[in-house]
Amino acid sequence: MSILLRGGDVVSGRGAERLDVLLEGEKIAAVGADLGAGEGEVVDCTGKLLFPGFIDGHTHFDLEVGGTITADDFATGSRAALRGGTTTVIDFAAPDKGEPLAAGLARWREKAVGKCACDYGFHMTIDDWNEGICREIGEMAEEGITSFKMYMTYPAMMIGEGEMYRALLRLKEAGGVAGVHCENDGVIRELVRAARAAGRMSPGSHPRTRPAPLEAEAVGHLLRLAQLADAPVIIVHLSCRESMEEVRAARRRGQRVYVETCPHYLLLEDGGYDDPDYMAAAKLVCAPPLRKAEDRAALWAALAGGEIDTVATDHCSFTTAQKRAGRYDFTKIPGGLPGVEHRGVLLYTHGVAAGRITPADMCRVLCENPAKLYGCWPRKGCIAPGGDGDIVVYDPAARGVITAADQAQNTDYTPYEGMETAGAVARVYLRGRLAADRGRVLETQGQFIRRGPCAL
Ligand code: MN
């Protein structure tokens, strides 16, 4: 059974071209002008943009955080992803301290297998360091896991300076790459102590105890360790102008630094934390926190200038009831925002339709770059013969409004409530099968994607 997507504008990182796309089985069989359909179904895509399925390299489904579990598991999170055009997510497997990496991987496989409706992979979290873990990093590559995560904040996740340096050396040797959460933990803890002592326990203290210079300091700090180790690194969820400056300085030194940012840093600001409605402010708590207008502007400029490699969501969703656990103590608000469903339409609306970036730029940061960075190119991330039949049919003429009432994410709010959208995801194909049709999510089965080395 084949499907011919006829007459759409096929987007790549180089531009858009009016071409037909023939899907056969799970694969893209042909891309060209005036392809014949044979016996198969023909879908008129006139006036539509055809993107490769979006890849979200940063989600947290079914994750325990601060005594609760994210509202989205792999079943609901993956369906929300598909509804918004994301056909592959890369989540984070995390062993508990003292466990081998393999134990973390086994646990996350169990969470995802049979439940995840879109394709998926895992980054492996390194939150401990010993000889066993050092050895296991090589074994992870055989499991198709080539990207890792380290933390410079959250004492439960940190491994220490020398260990981080050793991990960078080991990853380089094994052909892996690490994404790092950069914030200066010690000073954040001091600022939290001072806020507590002053009785300032509302969400307004959240951005004030995690200010931009403490992110930039950690980015610069990490990049000097990476310079010494001569290892590539990914700055995940980069949120502010000063961090971008640290990245530029390292790139000028010749370092390989990859940058990820998130829709909330491009679109939202820290003013919301001072909302007198405690819960309205609590719903915006995430780390790093939302920043200022000048940071947003700097991120858009960096995105348009090709300095940001990928836009991922850091989807980590909680319901209002879960966020309420942090009432009267901002440090107990579960941190994270929903977003896996809306990344594509947000980037199109505020990026492409607003004239800040082109469809090709959007394709690079949502498709090509994450596929290359995370070692699944060209199976994923491009519309070319032989690749997986993952396609987003985007209707730029549609108009919509983002609301919690109309979302598949398993939470009762969205930080983008009421935002008007330019265009909409009309249809989504996952490995040659229709997975979402104008907001209706169909039954599909996700596949674990074994990934190779970074190719960006
Ligand atoms: Mn995260």
Tens digit of pLDDT for each residue in 142-177?
999 999 999 999 999 999 999 999 999 999 999 999
Q: How far is the CA of 271 from the centre of ligand 1 (A)?
A: 22
Residue type, 155: P
106: confidence class by pLDDT, cuts 50, 70, 90: very high
pLDDT of 115 higher than 90:
yes
Q: How far is the CA of 60 from the centre of ligand 1 (A)?
A: 7
DSSP structure class, residue 443: P
Query: In the beta sheet, which residues pair with residue 436?
Result: 428, 441
Q: How far is the CA of 314 from the centre of ligand 1 (A)?
A: 5
pLDDT of 1 higher than 90:
no
Q: Exposed, middle or buried by CB within 10 Å (0-12, 13-18, 19+), for 397?
A: exposed
Q: How far is the CA of 50 from the centre of ligand 1 (A)?
A: 29
Q: How far is the CA of 125 from the centre of ligand 1 (A)?
A: 11
Q: How far is the CA of 425 from the centre of ligand 1 (A)?
A: 25
Instruction: Determine the Cα–Cα distance for residues 366 and 344; give it in Å rounded to an integer.
Output: 8
Q: How far is the CA of 305 from the centre of ligand 1 (A)?
A: 25
Q: What percent of the chain has pLDDT over 70?
A: 100
Q: How far is the CA of 237 from the centre of ligand 1 (A)?
A: 8
Q: How far is the CA of 78 from the centre of ligand 1 (A)?
A: 16
220: confidence class by pLDDT, cuts 50, 70, 90: very high
Helix, strand, coil percent content, the chain, rounded in steps of 5: 35, 25, 40
Span 40-50, pLDDT tens digits: 999 999 999 99
Instruction: Determine the Cα–Cα distance for residues 319 and 95; give it in Å rounded to an integer.
Output: 25
Instruction: Determine the Cα–Cα distance for residues 418 and 404; give it in Å rounded to an integer.
Output: 9
CA atoms within 13 A on the CB side of 191: 18
Q: How far is the CA of 63 from the centre of ligand 1 (A)?
A: 10
Q: How far is the CA of 58 from the centre of ligand 1 (A)?
A: 6
> In Å, what is the CA distance from 185 to each residue of 150, 153, 154, 384, 432?
13, 5, 7, 44, 45
Those residues whose beta carbon sits under 5 angstroms from the ion ligand 1 are: 314
Q: How far is the CA of 59 from the centre of ligand 1 (A)?
A: 7
Q: How far is the CA of 222 from the centre of ligand 1 (A)?
A: 17
Q: How far is the CA of 316 from the centre of ligand 1 (A)?
A: 7
Owner of token pair 């210079």:
213
Instruction: Determine the Cα–Cα distance for residues 258 and 178; give it in Å rounded to an integer.
Output: 10
Residue type, 72: D
Span 346-382, pLDDT tens digits: 999 999 999 999 999 999 999 999 999 999 999 999 9
User: pTM of the prediction?
Assistant: 0.98
